[in-house]
Copies of this chain bind each other. A is one copy, B any other.
């Protein structure tokens, strides 16, 4: 199989390494020529060049770049997919260019690290990949994308693109916004005076706040409606906990904490 990779960062790079380790030929490109060259040095791609002749083209660029990236490609012979963290607008943009040969995809794997040097051939092992086919999607296109992901160790879950975006707003985009706001609040409260005094709680709670901005600007804006709803639900919960603390209401704090623990166990259990 010949795979064309547009974007050689953490996710694209990891996919390139994983596919080449399993015998695929990978041709790649990156708008940043240094990243492309670094991807070649690291063995993420066999060569740098045009991806249009590949059996499968993977668009691994920030979500808001996907429609433009799709339009800028020449005619492609094979199937096209992406790895974006939001899906409704991406699928509309992809289908506008490639019709039923475009399949929206979202590997649930990442890291606070970024760029080709963060690529990891095992990133997708045991992880879920969410695919969002529509009524237009050609069955063999969907099968080819699913086969690629299973080949690198992932499990496929199919869902509607709109549902994907609502679910991800809650389980991923909201936690990222909260983690950034928490790190920002520590900055406002006097970061330098806290140096060396943080425990594992702060380290874990803000780990994802180490992720660079470009990916998350796009995700937040692309999924704005669902994110704002999730943020408002979060602020209502935090407000309820704050009010219980303010009025010294031990029973309400206990009920809040036990409800939160139960919700977490249901989601992660």
Q: CB-CB contacts of A189-217 with B at 8 A, as 1s and 0s?
A: 11111111111111111111111111011
Known: A175-B201, A176-B201, A177-B238. A191 touches B263 (CB 8 A): yes
Count identical subunits in the complex: 2
Interface size on A, residues (CB 8 A): 90
Given contact pairs A209-B261, A268-B203, A167 touches B194 in the complex (Cβ within 8 A): yes
Interface of A is mostly: helix
The answer, yes or no, to whether A235 is at the interface (CB within 8 Å) is yes
Inter-subunit contact A260/B184 (CB<8 Å): yes
Within 8 Å CB of A192, what residues of B?
266
B177 to A109, Cβ gap below 8 A?
no
How many angstroms from the CA of A177 to the CA of B201 in the assembled complex? 11
27 chain-A/chain-B pairs, Cβ below 8 angstroms: A128-B196, A128-B197, A167-B197, A171-B198, A171-B202, A175-B202, A175-B206, A176-B201, A177-B241, A182-B234, A182-B260, A185-B234, A186-B263, A186-B267, A189-B233, A197-B267, A202-B267, A204-B205, A204-B207, A205-B207, A210-B261, A210-B264, A210-B265, A213-B261, A216-B253, A227-B245, A231-B242
